[in-house]
Amino acid sequence: MNPGNRQGFCFNKLCVVCFLAVKSSKNFLTQRKRRTQRLYYIRIMNKIEHIGIAVRNLEEAIKTYTELLGTECYKTEAVESEGVKTAFFQVGDSKIELLEASSEASPIAKFIEKKGEGIHHIAFDVTDIQASMKDLASKGFQLLNEQPKNGADNKLVAFIHPKSSNGVLVELCQEKR
């Protein structure tokens, strides 16, 4: 027996106990590698970046959420390409994004018309939005964008169709570099 080995095996090639231990550890390492690979795929998203809430009147909603959250809105911004005005609140490590339609053709206007005010999407921070989009598409998720586009708060964004994610519109966000 090898005194430096905590498991008590001598690792002699002819020893049956050691042969089985080595074989077992190889299987363990293979299984561990598979588990690690699965964790990599699960871990595409780093954290909840923000929750998007569709509102009819941004100014009124800012007042409401200032009182509700006990913090001030730190930024308002118009995203012309999406026909939306936004306001952001920092809440711990995440944010609340209020969204008001600035045109009738805006996805937010259509959402409010169909469902009323409320949670519109959940956004996740990703390190590499292109790689995340490619990986999710390869797993069968339906993306609403072929390429990331400019979003609010200095982000590149892309969306996953709600039909692919149990009825939830998922946004991928990457800080612009």
pLDDT along the chain (177 residues), means of 10: 48 52 53 51 79 98 98 95 95 96 95 97 95 93 95 93 96 93
- 22 CB-side CA count, 13 A: 11
From the number of C-beta atoms within 10 Å of its C-beta (0-12, 13-18, 19+), residue 83 rates as: middle
User: How many Å apart are CA 164 and CA 145, to the nearest integer?
Assistant: 14
Q: Which residues contact 148 (CB under 8 A, 6 or more apart)?
A: 129, 130, 133, 156, 157, 158, 172, 174
CATH 3.40.50.300 assigned to domain 44-175? The reply is no
